[in-house]
Amino acid sequence: MTVLYRRTVVVTGAAGGLGAGVVAAFAEAGASVIGIAHRDPGAGVAGVRYVPVDLTDDAQVGAFFADAGAPWAVIHTVGGYAPERPLSELDPAELAQQLAVNLTTSALVVKHALRAMRPLGAGRIVLTASRSATVTAGAGFAYSVSKLGVLHLARMAADEVAGSGITVNCVVPSIIDTAANRAAMPHADHASWPKPADLARTYLYLAGPEAGLINGATIPV
């Protein structure tokens, strides 16, 4: 995928199950990848620069983009999960945590990515939501409403940048075969779950220059 050769791509959640797969795919496509990781990725992917950033901290996110310059694409894969529970047992702390990790991080990444991209008039932002954002069963309120906020954020940002050369889109997975998900659902049919490497192809396409007419899309995978 030579269209991404030497283009700077920032991937958040670079040490996570999905993020590590996305990092590997973009590195293989020839992009210059900067991985934001809240924990040590270990050996990581060769040639990738890993940077620790608290994505819930506005100042830290702003400082990262000021230092990194204007990337061609920003792929946001950071997210957290909270299980289903009755609304009568809603935990306010869990709700605040889910809003912070899923929605606040997305909003701050969009904010500072747009500030970096606008002077150049080009760029790609791809967020990550969840099918749970569009249904009322199968996931807890705290998780689903935080991911619903990500969908609304993507649509609002896309409207704001329409015609600018920048696009904002959102990938909407159902389930992903990660170690964390396997641990949470040990009796599920893991072999049938989509793999991070398979999902990465959607991020690659949306981040490419040829996807310039796709803006405000929510892509189920």
Q: What is the pLDDT of residues 178-207, one digit of tens each?
A: 777 777 778 888 888 888 889 999 999 999
Task: Categorize the per-residue pLDDT at 120 as very low, low, confident or very high, splitting at 50, 70 and 90.
Answer: very high
pLDDT at 194: 81
- DSSP, collapsed to helix, strand or coil, labels residue 125 as strand
Least confident of 82-96, 103-117, 177-191: 177-191
Check residue 206 and give its pLDDT. 98
Instruction: Give the DSSP H or E segment for 35.
Output: strand 32-36
Beta carbons within 8 Å of 200's beta carbon, 6+ residues apart: 21, 22, 24, 25, 26
Q: What is the pTM of this model?
A: 0.94
Burial call 182-210: b when 16+ CB within 10 Å, e when fewer: eeeeeeeeeeebeebeebbebbbebbbee
pLDDT at 138 over 80: no
Residue 148, pLDDT > 80, answer yes
Task: Report d(CA 25, CA 18) in Å as an integer.
Answer: 11
How high is the pLDDT of residue 2? 62
Q: What is the pLDDT of residues 36-79, one digit of tens each?
A: 998 888 878 999 999 999 999 999 999 999 999 899 999 999 99
Tokens in use for 65? 């983009």
| Residue 1 in this model has a pLDDT that exceeds 60 | no
Dist. CA 1–CA 72, nearest whole Å: 15
- The chain-wide mean pLDDT, for the chain, equals 93
CATH top-level class of 2-220: alpha beta
